[in-house]
Amino acid sequence: MIPVQHWARNFTVEKEDLDYLTSLLLEHEKPMKTDALARALVEERLAQETAALQAHYKDARFYNPSQSYEVGQKVIFPSFDYATATIVHTREGSNPEYNTFNVMGVEFEEDASRKVREFAIDLSVPHVLSQQDNESYATYLTDGELTADEIIVQFGDDIIYTLENSLGETDALIQVSGHWFPRDLILEVNEGHLNLAEAVIDINNQPMDTESIVNEIGGLGSGSIELQMFSMNHALREDSRFDEVGPAGMVLWFLLSHEPPEVQQTPTMLRYTPVDHDRTLLTPEMLELEAEIDDELSPPPNIQDSIQEATITLNYPHRRMGTLPLNAKMRLVFPTAQQTSRVSVILVDGQDGEEYPAWVVRKERYVFGADKFFRKHRLPIGALVTISKSDTPGKVVINFNAYKARSEWIRLIVPKNNQIGFDNHKRNIGAEYDDLMILGADDLAAVDALFELTQQQKRPLATILRTIIPGLGRLTPQGTAHAKTIYSAVNVIKRCPPGPILAMLAANPDFQNVGGHYWKLSES
């Protein structure tokens, strides 16, 4: 029996493999992805194995004692694990238990001693080997082998990973957007082509796929469209004017000069200067509250399963900047990218279907482009916003639980004497929200100025808490403030995840816990 291909289990790439793949790319005249090259290489190895076996066993016959054989013939012995031997002589046999028969002497190919062994042939009496149903030659060649599909299923990840590394080490091939092609044969893209590409994107003023760009500039010559796109992608990537912004599986190009400033540089209100804190001070209840708030700057939870949607509570910095937090769950909903840190997406309004261009800035953990959605639906700070995957690549649905607007009491941010203050005011609210985190602001310019002043003075977190907690406490009969409300208020003037805030409340004697997650200033 032929053993299962050991090369698939311990896959390595030889020079002959790279030569074959290079020739394949030249023959097809179009770039190919690593997984397609891996499959082609697996199929080629299987074809080579089959050809080698066919050559090795050409004209070979299975041993059957009832049949006749001649000197020089090659014989296969199924009972000896399909070993092959060559007949070196024949003679008459002599055994009173059998009628007339002959004997052949054979040398087994793998027997280094070249010892001749003899076997009966031309038997006219019944024999077990004469009666058995030997496997056909075709079955023999494929018995125990895996098909290309089976090899890819079982070993595909390792094969693709190994091949990717080997392809990357050769100077003869170049990879662009996941595709490979010989470096010396990519089409010329001159300065004129690039200037036309810039003009085309500028006129359309939106990210464009490579094929559209190539078609609009009149093409790059007589090469296949795949090769033209490959060559254009390579040239655009080398030119600092262009930015690849497509989600994984899509290549989209945009002009860096046209990208919003909030995409190229993190908005000031979203920037977090880490605050030293002792996480051992966080009780299990505090850790549970931290996970409930699910700030993108908090330690991410371990999420194993894929998810289709995620809900966030809108805090002040994101509401003010028109951004969405990219926490662990949101990262699984929004499209990923292979080559770029900025991904162009479309937010689809779940209420009326309107679309908003947006940008996923994965490294800095936010999505820019939701301001129009927030303002159109008058969403308050603390609103619950849901993001869902859609069936269209590059699009996600943004939504909220809407109801008929009604007048409700909320905490209003009121800057006083360069300090943050709060009053209770009625406002019309038509969206589901977290009552502990909702805030309102009428004078945004004054709030912005207070934020700038806090940054300039570098006010410590403890100082900010000493101001915020009494201000919030005056709005309740108990004179206390919930930790979620404190977190929401702190982030009006200083970007900070809940962990450092909770640790400061627990560590500093100026703050007193009065049960649950409610806090006040200590009487001392």
1 domain residue, yes or no: no
359 domain residue, yes or no: yes
Domain boundary among 370, 404, 438: 404
Number of domains in the chain: 5
pTM: 0.75
Mean pLDDT of 412-422: 90
Same-domain check for residues 241 and 273: no
Same-domain check for residues 28 and 161: yes
The confidence score (pLDDT) of residue 143 equals: 53
What is the DSSP track for 156-218?
HHHHHHHHHHHHHH-SSEEEETTEEEEGGGSPP--HHHHHHHHHHHHHHTS-EEHHHHHHHTT
Mean pLDDT of 353-360: 96
Same-domain check for residues 221 and 110: no
Domain boundary among 404, 420, 435: 404
Same-domain check for residues 162 and 31: yes
Same-domain check for residues 315 and 432: no
Same-domain check for residues 359 and 294: yes
Q: Which residues contact 422 (CB under 8 A, 6 or more apart)?
A: 411, 412, 413, 414, 471, 472, 474, 475, 489
**Domain with 233 in it: what CATH number?**
1.10.10
Same-domain check for residues 35 and 126: no
pLDDT range class, residue 134, cuts 50, 70, 90:
very low
| Residue 418, phi-psi category: left (phi > 0), alpha (psi -120 to 50), beta (remainder) | left
pLDDT range class, residue 128, cuts 50, 70, 90:
low
Residues 84 and 74: beta-carbon distance below 8 Å: yes
**Domain with 85 in it: what CATH number?**
2.30.30
| pLDDT averaged over every residue in the chain | 88
Same-domain check for residues 204 and 344: no
Domain boundary among 386, 404, 422: 404
87 domain residue, yes or no: yes
- pLDDT at 394 > cutoff 60: yes
The confidence score (pLDDT) of residue 151 equals: 85
Give me the domain span that covers residue 343: 268-404
